[in-house]
Amino acid sequence: MDSVGKVLGFLKDSVIFIMTELKQLERMNSFISNNILTYEVAINNLLDTIQELNNPMYNHIISQSTLCSILSLVNSHVLSLNKLVIRMNKWNDDIKKGGFKKFRALVRNRPSVLSEELFTKLLEIKPLLVEICQIEKEALGSGTRIKHPLLKASWVLSGRNQVNDSAIEKSIIAENIYLLLKIEMGGEIKRPDVWKRAIGKFVDGIDGCAASSIDDKISVSEMNEFVMPENKKTFKEVLLDYIDVEITSSIINNRSSSDSPKDSTGSDTESDSETSNNKVILYVPPEMKNETITIPIDFTGKTLNYNSKVEIPQCSGYGSNWPSSKLCEFTIPESNYSNLEFNYLEILCNGTDQGWGDTGHDNVRYQINDQPIQVGFFIHRLKCPDNNYKFVINWEKAKPGDKITMWLVCAPFGGWQAKMNTIVAKAYFE
């Protein structure tokens, strides 16, 4: 009887266990179908905001406070939540497919255990949203409403005392743009007087763009009303259109007007400058000479999957030990002109991820000679729908003769893929 009782007790417990798991499965399916997308959007927005706040142009504001450590902590939480959502979506897909995949999904992740983990971790999102909003307010202030990234950066650099104002002194914006230009040029601006005049004309064009009159202050509305050229990504490119090319003329008379040839009416005639003693000399300041060399690269495309080998040498940072492969190697060339100096290396890439689900994890890294490997960019199809990416290595980091090695890195999440289609490298000299 004891044996029979034990068997019946076991069967009863088994039935209760199965019923409980089925109820949890139903609850999980309902939650994932109705709510997981909302959480996924919230997490992606958090990741986008963190990536924006990690913009090097904001470093002097973020790094000089506890914001840097807070941002790092928020980022680690968000990445953990993101992995959970990816796992949930994969689990849900396997459940819907049925068969062996459904059985394996249920064995590996019991609905009761999974649901407890899901609901516990997703409770973290709300305080993270509040935290990131506070960081945005403190670091970016009113600048969060400025659409163009360059103009937003020129506002943010004003510092905590001004970033939340409705308008900032034009002179402060001009100083900030000069600082950003200096960063773009690798820490040194040649002929600063020329660039300062260009910046002055540029900020003058912003002042008064909105309904307010010209008042030597620039508001968020004026920033947004000002039309920035869409094809120019740096202040250097923008400001080149504001540089004056001053032409002065001087007439050198080698003889008096009384010696000028006369026509039949007795009036002076206009003489050709090559044959006349009256010469018009145009004094034109020498242009900023430059040279661009497109570097030949042996590359025909590469695709990595989430389960590919890890080939990248030891490095640090998020994703440093992920599936990876070398893309190419090339050397920065010398200029064809002895009077030109290396300015920067521009690398243009066209790459994609798997095309579904989350994004912003696959990345491209580079190495200068035997120096530590660094991140060039993360592949983010939502932020970059045309799949074209660019990163720059300036003269402070590299020089002609240096070897550049590039690596493709793929996220190790189920179904992930990273693909690099084209790579173009250009060396700029001035």
Q: Are residues 302 and 410 in the same domain?
A: yes
Residue 254 neighbours by CB distance under 10 Å: 9
Global confidence as pTM: 0.42
DSSP 8-state code for residue 285: P
Contacts of 137 (CB under 8 A, 6+ apart): 144, 164
Tell me which of 138, 160, 194 is where a domain ends: 138
Q: Write the pLDDT tens digit of every residue in 17-74.
A: 556 666 666 666 666 666 667 777 777 777 777 766 666 666 555 554 555 556 666 7
Tell me the residue type at 216.
Answer: D
Shared-domain flag, residues 175 and 229:
yes
Transcribe 83-114 into DSSP letters.
HHHHHHHHHHHHHHH-HHHHHHHHHHS-HHHH
Are residues 113 and 79 located together in one domain of the fold? yes
What pLDDT score was predicted for residue 91?
Answer: 74
How many CB atoms within 10 Å of residue 380? Answer: 21
Same domain, yes or no: 225 and 334? no
CA 221, CA 208: separation in Å to the nearest integer?
A: 10
More confident residue, 100 or 254: 100
Is the dihedral angle over the CA atoms 376, 411, 59, 49 positive or is it negative?
Answer: positive
pLDDT band (50, 70, 90) for residue 301: very high
| 263 pLDDT above the threshold of 90 | no
Residue range 250-271: average pLDDT?
Answer: 38
Residue 248 is predicted with a pLDDT of 29
Amino acid at 33: S
- Structural domain including 91 reads 2-138
pLDDT at 339 over 90: no
Residue 86, pLDDT score: 77
Place of tokens 């897909």: 93
Residue 176: closest CA among 188, 194, 158: 158
| Domain stop point among 220, 242, 264 | 242
Q: How many domains are contained in the chain?
A: 3
| Claim to verify: residue 92 and residue 13 sit in the same structural domain | yes
Mean pLDDT of 109-128: 73
Confidence label for 272 from pLDDT (cuts 50, 70 and 90): very low
For the record, the structure tokens of 232 come out as: 């120019």
Q: What percent of the chain has pLDDT over 90?
A: 24
- Quick one: 161 and 98 in the same domain? no
pLDDT digit string, tens, across residues 212-245: 778 888 888 888 888 888 778 888 888 888 876 4
